[in-house]
Amino acid sequence: MDIMILETHMQQLTARYPDLEICTSDILKAFQLCANTFHSAGKMLLCGNGGSAAEGIALLGKAQFPTPKEPLQASWSGLQRSR
């Protein structure tokens, strides 16, 4: 991602959520780590329990990554791996 675009996104993020200003460099480092991983044909495992699992699935969908090999299904008790 173009560094100017990334900086613009970070400025918008910290304008909306000023408390994040203190961890801007950590957010940028985390983004760079993710970007480098994907550009080098690496993979990222997204997991969680309940809401965290839902966040992982949402991130997967927003980034348009390939679907997981073991699809997740929703149930009343939360998200569970299908067997």
Report the range of poorest mean pLDDT among 1-5, 48-52, 62-66.
62-66
Q: Identify the pLDDT of residue 21.
A: 92
Exposed/middle/buried for 69, CB within 10 Å: 0-12, 13-18, 19+?
exposed
As a whole number of angstroms, the distance between CA 31 and CA 63 comes to: 13
Q: Give how far the C-alpha of residue 46 lies from the chain's centroid of Cα atoms, to the nearest Å.
A: 8
Higher pLDDT, 18 or 36: 18
